[in-house]
Structure 1
């Protein structure tokens, strides 16, 4: 029988290092971790595993206090309960280092993990996926492990938000972009620009401002647009929280929405239906995506109800538009 000493000898490391790698502790380098896993595979070493790990489903989001991430947690928990598993949820707080620490902590306790990572590089996430069969990425698309990703077409989301306004006669459309350097921000802005180009309109960078993706960020971003004295008739925002801030800024300046300036959000959070006016927005099916990601995680380890369709296809969902009262046809 292959022992941990055999693995250590094969990988040219200590038994303590092998133990740290097996338990997914964070104090080993990627090179050493890779060497140990390769030695385990060559020798056919079987770990005993954590007796509690199979009963837990781990989930990492950026901030458990934010409404958007609450939908992800709800979706994961829904599937976890149906499969007699408990939820272990942790926040990563918007940095690569905390994401790395959080993932390692989750994987030391869970065979299944739904990971919302926006700061780690693709290579590192691919390595985690190779080590842990039950790991699934949500709101992230990496081509080489695309069948382990459940993502949204954010380019299309930005596109349909802007196209909705263009179809109603708007041509002077501002955009509040997230200042965070993540693919969501890049892709939604690409969708905005794609829609303008489709209508034969040039891109005027004066109409685009970056700000923190929060209510206050949206409020300040709208003030920045208004200060430029642009002929704005509409504003597309990165998310619903920024849209709420934009509505506040417009009201503070005596500008009526939607009569003077229309506003479009993104996410369709519960607040969208309670703002004044009720917010037209792009629906992000976060809870449904989380449920799908969790079912996929269980399928990958043979724990869920058999569904080969989950394993055989890509999981890129298409957002839809929800029209409420914050958009208006532009006559000019």
Structure 2
């Protein structure tokens, strides 16, 4: 990534002259200004919002892109990153992507304009090819909660297929054979991978998952409520509900209780993530622990290390940072009668 010193050297001018051009200052001739701007474009220079960082060629900030601010999952992710940044005396710059390709890219570009050479990115909408190119260009680019083989050493990710298998196998061990799934309607990897893991476990056990027993909705409590209402309306037959996340599982539980079912005596419910909500449901929600805070902390460490030591990134090319969820047993699941 080009710096102000690189531009000054290529143009044969002083740092002060380049700074004046960047800030539209006076005392620079039109021809010189045009030539410097052309060199900046050719070298891929991005305007620096932090003058001190420009001069020192250092990033004083750690950039973070998450889907949204309100979701407790992303709040936990951000907290894990902030903890590391505070220890390193680095400022955190946060931007949101809203699971939309244009918004995610704009969020990344905004952080680049603020000279973030270390960046932890949660992207679900951008294509692999775009993220691969960004990972090549940004020294400390770390992708969290997504795996791309070509940049595996820059990915901190959860094995969602194993997670789906784990939740299904837990219910199978308790004797359940009739399943319903409330899943996210978003066209991203996570719901597909978790459902794939569920299907693999059930097929191996010789248990059929009726497609009519899978309902897609928004991955929040309201979505879980609506999904369960739809399942009950069409008379789906099940003794166990597998939730895409804790919010959907909690919403599904609310509908079941409102309709006179007892959880877990009549129907068992399991979630995914182990956010704070799962501990305060009634009954408390059995779920899968998603170690997102631990993953976020490692992602932040890697981003800062790779940004300051480019050779370290190259020496880590054969590594990947995979995590696996674990079962957290609470009160929403029972052995079937």
Both proteins in one fold, TM over 0.5: yes
3-state SS in 1 of match to 2:256: helix
2:10 is aligned to 3
Instruction: Name the CA distance, whole Å, in 1 between partners of 2:193 and 2:309.
Output: 34
Moved over 6 A (4+): 306-311
3-state SS in 2 of match to 1:301: helix
Cα shift readout 1:63-107 (whole Å, capped 9, x = no counterpart): 012100001100111111111101111111121000010000012
> TM-score when scaled to structure 1?
0.85
Cα 1:311–1:123 change in 2 (3 A) is: closer
Instruction: Name the CA distance, whole Å, in 1 between partners of 2:91 and 2:292.
Output: 20
| Count of residues paired in the alignment | 301
1:102 is aligned to 107
**Structure 1: gaps spanning 5 or more residues:** 6-12, 26-47
1:22 is aligned to 45
Cα shift readout 1:213-244 (whole Å, capped 9, x = no counterpart): 01000000001111121221010010001011
**Structure 2: gaps spanning 5 or more residues:** 1-5, 13-36
Cα 1:76–1:4 change in 2 (3 A) is: farther
Q: 1:325 aligns with which of 318, 324, 331?
A: 331
Q: 2:123 aligns with which of 117, 124, 132?
A: 117
Question: Does structure 2 retain, via aligned residues, the 8 Å contact 1:24–1:105?
Answer: no
Cα 1:4–1:98 change in 2 (3 A) is: farther
Question: Does structure 2 retain, via aligned residues, the 8 Å contact 1:176–1:210?
Answer: yes
1:61 is aligned to 66
Instruction: Name the CA distance, whole Å, in 1 between partners of 2:55 and 2:322.
Output: 33
> TM-score when scaled to structure 2?
0.84
* Within-5 A mapping of 1:41-190: 49=54, 54-109=59-114, 110-190=116-196
Question: Does structure 1 retain, via aligned residues, the 8 Å contact 2:152–2:317?
Answer: no
Shift of 1:17: 2.8
3-state SS in 1 of match to 2:308: coil
Q: 2:277 aligns with which of 271, 274, 277?
A: 271
Question: Does structure 2 retain, via aligned residues, the 8 Å contact 1:175–1:235?
Answer: yes
Instruction: Name the CA distance, whole Å, in 2 between partners of 1:254 and 1:308.
Output: 59
Instruction: Name the CA distance, whole Å, in 2 between partners of 1:134 and 1:307.
Output: 8
Question: Does structure 1 retain, via aligned residues, the 8 Å contact 2:161–2:195?
Answer: yes
Instruction: Name the CA distance, whole Å, in 2 between partners of 1:215 and 1:16.
Output: 49
Cα 1:120–1:186 change in 2 (3 A) is: same
3-state SS in 1 of match to 2:271: strand
Shift of 1:52: 8.5
Cα 1:240–1:309 change in 2 (3 A) is: farther
Matched, 1:261 2:284: no
Shift of 1:18: 3.4
Shift of 1:203: 3.1
Greater Cα offset, 292-301 or 309-318: 309-318
Instruction: Name the CA distance, whole Å, in 2 between partners of 1:218 and 1:17.
Output: 49
3-state SS in 1 of match to 2:59: helix
3-state SS in 2 of match to 1:164: helix
Instruction: Name the CA distance, whole Å, in 1 between partners of 2:295 and 2:47.
Output: 27
Matched, 1:193 2:199: yes
Question: Does structure 2 retain, via aligned residues, the 8 Å contact 1:4–1:18?
Answer: no
